[in-house]
Amino acid sequence: MSALTGGAQGSKKRKKDANGTIDTTSLPSKRLAVEQDATATIQKLEDQIVESRKFYNNIATLLSMLNARTSKDEPNLTVAVALCRIFCRLIAGGDLKEQSRATEQEKIIVAWLKERCQEYQRALLDVIRQAEASFKVTALHLSMRLANARAAHLPGSETHVWLTGLFKGVFEALIEAREGESLRSEFVEQYLREYEDIRYYTFMQITVYAAERRNPEILERLIFIISQCDVVPQPEHEFTKSYVKLEKKDRNPLLSVGAHKKRAQEAWLAILKNELSDPQRKQLLRMMSHTIVPWFNRPELLMDFLTDSYNSGGSTSLLALSGLFYLIQEKNLDYPQFYPKLYSLLDADLLHSKHRSRFFRLMETFLASTHLPATLVASFIKRLSRLALNAPPTAIVAIVPFIYNLLKSHPTCTFMIHRAIHDKDWIAELEMEGMDDPFDPNEQDPTLTNAIESSLWEIEALQSHYHPNVAAIARIISEQFTKQAYNLEDFLDYTYQGMLIAELGVEERPFKKAPVIEFQIPKRIFTDRLLEEDRGEDTAPGSMLRQLWDFST
Amino acid sequence: MAPSQLKQLKASLHENRILGPQQSKKQKRANAKSGANRQNRIQRNAALQGIRERFNPFEIKAPVKSVKFGVATSSKAIRDRDYVRPGVTKSLGEERRRATLLKELHSRSKVGGILDRRFGENDPTMTPEEKAAERFARESQKRFRKEALFNLEDEEEDIQLTHMGQSISFGGDTNDDFREDDISGSDDDMFQNTQSSERKRSFIDEGGMGGVGDEDEEEHPERKKTKAEVMKELIAKSKFYKHERQKAKEDDEDLRAELDKELPSLFEVVQGASLPVKQGPLLGDSEKVEIPDNARKDSKAADREYDQRLKQMTFEKRSKPTDRIKTEEEKAEEEAERLKTLEMARLRRMRGEEGNLEDEEVRANQSDSELMPDDAKVFGLSQPSNIHLELGAEDEDDFVIDESLVETDSDASLSFIQNDWGEISEARSESEEEEDQMMNGLTFPVDGTREVLSAPTRGFESENGNLAFTYICPETHQHFLDIIKKIQTEDLPAVIQRIRALHHPRLHSDNKWKLARFSAVLVEHVSYMANQSERPSFTILENILRHIHSLAKNYPENVATAFRAHLRCIATERPLKFLPGDLVILTGVLTIFPTSDHFHTVTTPANLCLARYLGQSTIDSLTDLAIGAYIANLCIQYQVLAKRFIPEFMNYCLNALHMLCPVEIKEVHGFLPLRKPTRSLRLHCLKHTTYRRIQFWDILETELSPSSAEELKLSLICMFISLIDFAADLWSTKSAFKEMFDAAHNTLLRLSNSYREDISPHLQNQTKACVIKLERLFSQARTSRRPLALHNHRPLAIKTFVPKFEENFNPDRHYDPNQERAELNRLKAEHKRERKGAMRELRKDANFIAREALKEKKERDVAYEKKFKRIIADIQGEEGREANSYKREQKKRQGIR
């Protein structure tokens, strides 16, 4: 290809190559020639414009070529690139600037040029919105270059370009573009994460854009873009990576960390206040601690969002927990219903959900305080042990050490595992009719459940769990409490698969001892073989299987 | 005030009678005669010495620090510090050096010399008489000391006196006074002297040297052999013995070669006829070769034979009464006893009592060795990242049982084959005939097998005539499939049995591992068969499982490994989608392995597999529910004996009931997690729907007509209710029974309320019965419930240590409890001390040598000076003379002139 094009076209060619838009090598030779011809014309027109002002009409020709020559879906990028170069040159040369002492004719020319420029910008935005992915990306790059040129060389228009002018259009087009995933990630990679000023203006655009109610799809895109800004500047951060050359004047908001954070905070709040779907809410909650909160100068502004999420119940509440707890702990948020709410989160599905470990970690923090009332802690203990009766072994394995730790830090609750009765009347009553569980499972308030009067029969029953390791763990509550505390982290994150592989190993190893075999070979396994011998009574193992199932066919 | 030093000196001199009135000449002469003079002189010298010491304050070194608590400390070392006299020690050392080092210095680079080693020769203090007495005393003492210990016969007076180097013994032996040993001894001594300036030679040493020589003399009185002679003799002897040995060996070789030559003929004899084997003596030929015919020898041999026979007969076992045949009752009792011990072992395993402790310890150790102590590891939990395989910790009793089983076999005494047969068929304890039936009913009578075994190549007619009698023992499943390709499924048990019979371990040593492989192949095959679309008969599956069981008794590792491999396959490939083969395998686990064990290498993972399915599987169709029902059934069946609780079982059963219930049960049942099926599986209560027993293959039925689907639903409800019913019985003694079954009770109540009038009465009755039963059990549980009192432990004592007291404690000593370290420290201290001493000595030696060298040099210089002066004087004299003569000459000339 380098043999075909001249040295003058080098820069353009590189551009094309870089964008990978037109692959001329694959074109047949004839078409190549036509293409060659077209580029030559464009080049000629461009050169003329540079040469003299009298050829400015060529701009219009080129614009028409950009729009007219091909359909909207397939814009002529060569033209677009050429136009971009022309406009950048013009802007740099000050031809789009209105001088106060200019003649009438010159003013007309400037006005005309401005109009053409606007037209060109519109065309680019259209491309971004509607064209194919590869064209979109090129158009994005061109518009950004144009915006840069305008911001750099047209004094006073800087903020205009970024806030209301070209960049606003670009941003909106970016968000609204159909099938623009690659475009957006390109934007994120090339601009948002590279240049801090672009990030700054993007935050502002998001704030404006998300102020209105948007549909979930658009919000999804906004969240994607904003969540990519996960590197929060440190207080003493120096802003050096800038798209437009920055003026080193005082009070430039682009140079202040506070201003950046403020914009980010506004943008996030605008999004959080919008109508979020449930999965989006969960997604945001999940990235709350590491992505969102660091941007906030005043995290308490998240309060509304968090309390709303916490009140909505289910796994959303689970996810809101940590954020809320942070606010309570650090920012003095008053949330009197925190523990009752936490208690209500302990429902049947909790132990089966994938957030189980996360919840246990948090709950360990919440219940760590030794100043909590014993009744409340007892309620948690009792409820957890109730849940353990229906829980998978992986959850029981976490519950029991957790209960152990609670009992250890709240010795008043140890009545639940050891209650010596001295009252004679009560003993007599117990002998006569036994007792019911005093615990009220339906009570919502954890301080009123009467759990402390109850005993942990459930955990005791789990001491005969089918899995030997789980049974061994359940047995810790009936042994002496010599260990200070169990490290809960060691008991979380178990899975059935992990436990099975732990039992079976990935490959067979020789046995240390020969495995025991049942000494009696049963007379029957599936069939009623030789039943008459036992006088029709089936006592061999698996009798129930044979009774309930028909293996005859 | 004390008088002046001079006055004190005078006074003390007077006191010691050193100064005194002059003695008269008469007195002097008398004293000289009586020797008192000398005595006086010695006395005076001693007194003078004392006075000198007393008056020289610099001779005594004052202690650096004054002694603390001088009265309290009784240590002699501390008291002795006052008396350090550096001058004396210095002069002593100087003297010693002059005696040793200086001598060496002088004799340096000089060779030879004679050392006088006679007793007291260098001692000027001894008189000749004393010397002689001393020598005699030593000689006799040494003799006494050396010999008395072992000298039994006190033959002679050993004391030999010498005169002028000649023995003064009267035996007339000329005894050379010159002895090698002596010389070498003295050489040694000289060497020692040069080695260490410190070491002094002692008289005793010297005496020892002399003594050795004497001893030698006495042992060889005739002539003392020189060392060279002795060595020569020794070498000659050893050569002689060696030669003899070689000769004997060669003889043996010859004999063996001869025997080898005759081996073929021996073989002929052995193979040709059995009778001559006994007569053709193995030894005979060689004996004949060695021993020529000799009548006397024959008679001797006969005698010996006779003796042998006699001995044999005396030691031969006397005939004893055989063991009494046991009566039926005794047999039953024995059997009961055996079963009881087995049951005890099972119970122990169920409680996880034995082996588990050590297992736990191992785990604890493992966790200890980890850098980060993991609390969970103690309980055998490990994250999948660091998998460690837990191996079985059970007692083994199987082989003992098998032996006993074989013994109880009634035909055990017959023949080897029959005995084996008893073992092959794994004589089941309770019924011989039953086992026979197992083997015979499907194949051929016992006699047939015997014939097959004894003549494996011969053909045999049987009812399934098309079956071959010999099969190769397959090593892989594919191989087995190839073997049974053309065989009817019905004949499979026969084939398996024949393979087992043909490859009985007693027939060939390789058969053991062949059968072990075969057992693993069978495990694979069972699941393979059940997965086939043609749905094999359960009779055959059952038979194969029973075969596996019986093989498992002999090859537990292989069978367990095969089962574990299958479980692993389930766990990794289809944890929530079980195939019929998997169900058959899991059923096999139920019967083959003791499911009640606290921990078992096969049943524990199998249990986990089942529970995982129940806990996590999605329910989308009736077949899912059917599989689930089967698994729930298996699960509960596993726990029949151990009565362990399975939370997943309850969850699954109740969920299933919720799904199948004709109307949705609205009330939330406490803590039960509910799952929603993707499509409704509710029972529609058709009028003619009746209960039927669910068939195993319902788990595969995907296309069901509406009516049969309803029938299946109804049956499934019945099934789950009966499962819950069964579980309630099983777990009725658990302390949290009420909490366990609360949800079940509620569900069943709602279920029975949701039934329409015209529903199957069987279902209605069953539901009601179950509800009533649960209520009854609830009330029982209520009466038996007590508050928990788990911590009736004896309070833990604080660890105490008895202090160890040392009697006669001495603060100067080190009481190191570590013996080795104490020893080491002691040695170190000693080494340090010695090193310091040696350094000091060396330094002093060097100083001494330097001093001596200087002295010598000065002497030399003085001599030189003297010589120089003399020569100068000579020359000057000469010159003077010459000058004078010259002058004289001049004068003469002048005079002449």
Domain ranges of chain B: 477-784, 864-896
Instruction: Write the DSSP string, B630-668.
Output: HHHHHHHHHTTTT--B-HHHHHHHHHHHHHHSSS---S-
Q: What is the pLDDT of residues B230-275, one digit of tens each?
A: 999 999 999 999 999 999 999 999 999 998 888 888 877 776 654 4
Strand B166-167 to B162-163 pairing: antiparallel
Is B712:B704 a contact under the CB 8 Å cutoff? yes
Q: What does the pLDDT read at residue B848? A: 93
In the structure encoding, which two tokens stand for residue A215, read together? 């549909």
State yes or no: pLDDT of B784 exceeds 70.
yes
State yes or no: pLDDT of B456 exceeds 50.
no
State yes or no: pLDDT of B868 exceeds 80.
yes
> In B351-428, where does DSSP find H-type helix?
356-369, 398-408, 416-424
- Does the structure's ipTM exceed the value 0.90? no
Quick check: helix, strand or coil at residue A311? helix
Instruction: Quickly count: other Cβ atoms within 10 Å of residue B651's Cβ.
Output: 25
CB within 8 Å: B379 and A493: no
Confidence of residue A397 (pLDDT cuts 50, 70, 90): very high
Is A289:A225 a contact under the CB 8 Å cutoff? no
Confidence of residue B207 (pLDDT cuts 50, 70, 90): very low
Confidence of residue A84 (pLDDT cuts 50, 70, 90): confident
Q: What does the pLDDT read at residue A421? A: 86
Global pTM exceeds 0.90: no
State yes or no: pLDDT of B690 exceeds 90.
no
Strand B694-695 to A549-550 pairing: parallel
Q: What does the pLDDT read at residue A132? A: 67
State yes or no: pLDDT of A501 exceeds 80.
yes
CB within 8 Å: A435 and B787: yes
The closest alpha carbon to B369, from B386, B357, B353, B347, belongs to: B386
Q: What does the pLDDT read at residue A376? A: 92
Judging contacts by C-beta atoms under 8 Å, the chain B residues touching residue A513 are 355, 391-394, 396
Q: What is the CA radius of gyration of chain B?
A: 57
Task: Judge whether A501 is closer than 8 Å to chain B, CB to CB.
Answer: yes
CB within 8 Å: A500 and B612: yes
Q: What does the pLDDT read at residue A462? A: 92
> Please, what sign has the CA dihedral across residues A467, A470, A476, A477?
negative
Nearest to A392 among B397, B594, B615 (CB): B615
CB within 8 Å: A433 and B782: yes
Confidence of residue B67 (pLDDT cuts 50, 70, 90): low
In the structure encoding, which two tokens stand for residue A34, read together? 């036509």
Confidence of residue B19 (pLDDT cuts 50, 70, 90): confident
Please calculate the CA angle B885-B886-B887 and round it to the nearest 5 degrees.
Answer: 90
Q: Which residues are CB-contacts of A199 (< 8 A; sequence separation ≥ 6)?
A: A192, A193, A229, A260
Q: Most B CBs within 10 Å: which of A466, A497, A499, A538, as the mutation test of the B interface?
A: A466
Q: What does the pLDDT read at residue A65? A: 65
Q: Is residue B801 exposed (0-12), middle (13-18) or buried (19+ Cβ within 10 Å)?
A: exposed
A300 to chain B, closest Cα gap in Å: 35
State yes or no: pLDDT of B504 exceeds 60.
yes
Please calculate the CA angle A68-A69-A73 and round it to the nearest 5 degrees.
Answer: 80
> What mean pLDDT is reported for chain A?
76
Nearest to A526 among B380, B542, B640 (CB): B542
Residue with tokens 């740099």: A92
The closest alpha carbon to A184, from A163, A206, A210, A164, belongs to: A206
Confidence of residue B724 (pLDDT cuts 50, 70, 90): very high
Judging contacts by C-beta atoms under 8 Å, the chain B residues touching residue A487 are 374-375
Q: Most A CBs within 10 Å: which of B350, B533, B539, B591, as the mutation test of the A interface?
A: B591
B695 beta partners:
A550
Q: What percent of chain B has pLDDT over 90?
A: 14
* Residue in chain A lying closest to B604 (CA): A467
Is B575:B609 a contact under the CB 8 Å cutoff? yes
- For residues A408 and B603, what is the distance between their CA atoms, to the nearest angstrom? 35
CB within 8 Å: B605 and A500: yes
- For residues A239 and A233, what is the distance between their CA atoms, to the nearest angstrom? 9
Q: What is the pLDDT of residues A314-363, one digit of tens each?
A: 778 878 887 788 788 777 777 778 888 888 888 888 888 888 888 898 88
> Please, what sign has the CA dihedral across residues A314, A320, A321, A322?
positive
- For residues B550 and A525, what is the distance between their CA atoms, to the nearest angstrom? 14
- For residues B640 and B650, what is the distance between their CA atoms, to the nearest angstrom? 15
Size of interface A-B (CB pairs under 8 A): 353
B374 to chain A, closest Cα gap in Å: 6
Q: What does the pLDDT read at residue A551? A: 79
Is A227:A194 a contact under the CB 8 Å cutoff? no
The closest alpha carbon to A393, from A351, A456, A342, A344, belongs to: A351
Is A515:B556 a contact under the CB 8 Å cutoff? yes
Residues 418-457, chain A, touching B (beta carbon < 8 A):
418-421, 430, 433-437, 441, 455-457
Judging contacts by C-beta atoms under 8 Å, the chain B residues touching residue A501 are 384, 387, 571-572
Burial letters A488-514, b for 16+ CB under 10 A, else e: bebbbebebbbbbbbbbbeeeeebeeb
- For residues A537 and A146, what is the distance between their CA atoms, to the nearest angstrom? 93
* E strand or H helix at A550: strand A549-550
- For residues A256 and A264, what is the distance between their CA atoms, to the nearest angstrom? 13
Q: Which residues are CB-contacts of A212 (< 8 A; sequence separation ≥ 6)?
A: none
- For residues A313 and A329, what is the distance between their CA atoms, to the nearest angstrom? 21
Q: What does the pLDDT read at residue A51? A: 66
Q: What is the pLDDT of residues A97-145, one digit of tens each?
A: 666 666 777 777 777 777 777 777 777 777 777 666 666 777 777 777 7
Q: Give the long-range contacts of residues B281-287, CB within 8 A, separation 24 or more.
A: B285/B258, B285/B259, B286/B255, B286/B258, B286/B259
CB within 8 Å: B561 and A508: yes
Instruction: Quickly count: other Cβ atoms within 10 Å of residue B869's Cβ.
Output: 10
In the structure encoding, which two tokens stand for residue A479, read together? 């042994």
Q: What does the pLDDT read at residue B396? A: 30
DSSP B292: -
Q: What is the pLDDT of residues B581-639, one digit of tens each?
A: 888 899 888 888 888 888 888 899 999 999 999 988 888 888 888 889 999 998 998 88
Which phi and psi angles does A549 have, rounded to 5°?
-115, 150
The closest alpha carbon to B717, from B752, B743, B746, belongs to: B752
CB within 8 Å: B695 and A455: no
CB within 8 Å: A348 and B674: yes
- For residues A302 and A304, what is the distance between their CA atoms, to the nearest angstrom? 6
State yes or no: pLDDT of A275 exceeds 90.
no
Is B609:B573 a contact under the CB 8 Å cutoff? no
Q: What is the pLDDT of residues B726-756, one digit of tens each?
A: 999 999 888 889 888 988 888 888 888 888 7
| Interval B133-142 mean pLDDT | 84
CB within 8 Å: A502 and B398: no
Instruction: Quickly count: other Cβ atoms within 10 Å of residue A315's Cβ.
Output: 19
User: Which amino acid, B809?
Assistant: F
